[in-house]
Amino acid sequence: MSVESLLRWGISVGFIVLLILVYERKTNPEEKHVGWKLIGYFFLGTFTFTFETWVLPVGIVVFIFFFLPNLKVNKTSKKWAASLGAASYVFGLLITYSVQAYYEKEIRIQASTNNAYEMNFFEEYEKVKSSIKADEELAIINFDFSFKKDGKIKDFNYTASYLIDGRSMVAWVKLKDGQYEISKHLIQPDDEETQMLMQENTVSTPAVYFKALDLHGLKKMVRETDLHHVNFFNSGSVTLNEEGSTLWYIESTGISRHDADTVSADDPSSQEESFPYHVAISSLKYTGAGTYTADQHRYFTISTELLNE
Task: Name the band, by pLDDT with cuts 50, 70 and 90, for residue 264.
Answer: very low
Q: Higher pLDDT residue, 225 or 55?
A: 225
Distance CA 61, CA 196 (A): 37
pLDDT of residue 291: 85
pLDDT of residue 274: 55
Distance CA 99, CA 4 (A): 7
Distance CA 206, CA 134 (A): 14
**Average of per-residue pLDDT across 250-278:** 64
Going by C-alpha positions, the residue among 79, 85, 81, 83 that lies closest to residue 12 is 85
Provide, for the chain, the percentages of residues in helix, strand and coil under a 3-state DSSP scheme, each rounded to the nearest 5.
Answer: 35, 35, 30
Which are the contacts of 108, defined by CB distance < 8 A and separation ≥ 6? 179, 180, 181, 182
**What's the whole-model pTM score?**
0.77
Distance CA 260, CA 273 (A): 11
Going by C-alpha positions, the residue among 203, 198, 143 that lies closest to residue 175 is 143
